[in-house]
A and B are shown apart, each in its own frame.
Chain A
Amino acid sequence: MTTSTDSIERKILLKASRSRVWRALSDAEEFGDWFGVDFKGETMLAGRHVRGRVTYPGYEHLPFEVFIERMEPERLLSWRWHPAALDPAVDYSTEPTTLVVFRLEEAEGGVLLTVVESGLDAIPLARRATVFRLNTSGWDEQMLNIEKHVARA
C-alpha cells in the first residue's frame, strides 16, 4: 500500500535529447558527477550492484551503493538503495531499501524526467530525519562544484 508519506515524486523538464539524458543517468561515472558519488570504473547493469564513494565534502569516507533493478534504454531506469546508510560501521544489507524509478518521456522542447522514490515508510523515522539533514547541508557546495565542472567542460 502506498501512503502519503511512503513515496515522493518529482518532475523536471530537461532541454536535451533523450540519448543525452539517458547517458547522464545510466553511465555510472556521469551519474556520479551530478549525484555526488565517485563511481569511477563502474558500469550500470540490471541485476547488479554499483559501488562507489560519496563525494560530498566531509562525507567522503562513506561508501555508496545502489542495486540496479531495471534498465530500459532511453525510457526507464530503476534502482534500490539504503537512503540513510550513513554509518560505515553498520551493515545495512538486511535492512529495507527504497526504490528509485527514473522515467523519461518525450516533451515539448526536451525530455520530461519523472523520479519516484518509494518505500520510505519502511525506513526508521529517526534515521530518515538525520540523514536527510546531513545530505541537504552538503548540496549547496555540490551545486557550485557542478557549475565549475560544467563551465570547464
Chain B
Amino acid sequence: MRLRLVALLCAGGAMSITQLTSGTVITRQAITKHLGVLEAAGLVRNVKVGRERLWEFEASQVVEARRSLDEIAQQWDHALAKLKRAVES
C-alpha cells in the first residue's frame, strides 16, 4: 500500500487525497494514516495549494544523498590519483 502510494506520487506529481483514493476502496482515513508514516520517514511531504492539501514525493533527501556520494567519490578519486603519482614515481 505505502509502496503504491510512493509510486503514484513519483509518477503523478502532487496529488490530493481524493485523487489518491479515486478508483480504490481505501478510505481517506487509511490513506491519511499511511501518508503520515511516509511523511515521518521523509519520503513524502504535503503542500497547501489554495484550500487543497496536496501530497508529493520528497525527492530532495534521496537526490541530495546521491549527489554528496558522487562528490565523495570524486574526492577519493583525486586522493588516489595523488597516491598513484607518489608511489609510481
Contact = CB atoms under 8 A, between A and B. Distances in A.
The B contact surface, by secondary structure, is helix
A121 B72 CA distance: 13
A138 to B, nearest CB: 10
Contacts of A139: 75, 78-79
Interface residues of A, number: 37
Interface residues of B, number: 27
Contact of A120 (B72, B79, B86): B72
B88 A15 contact: yes
A1 interface: no
Interface of A: 5, 8, 10, 12, 14-16, 20-21, 24-25, 30, 33-36, 83, 113, 115, 117, 120-121, 125, 128-129, 132-133, 135-136, 139-140, 142-143, 146-147, 150, 153
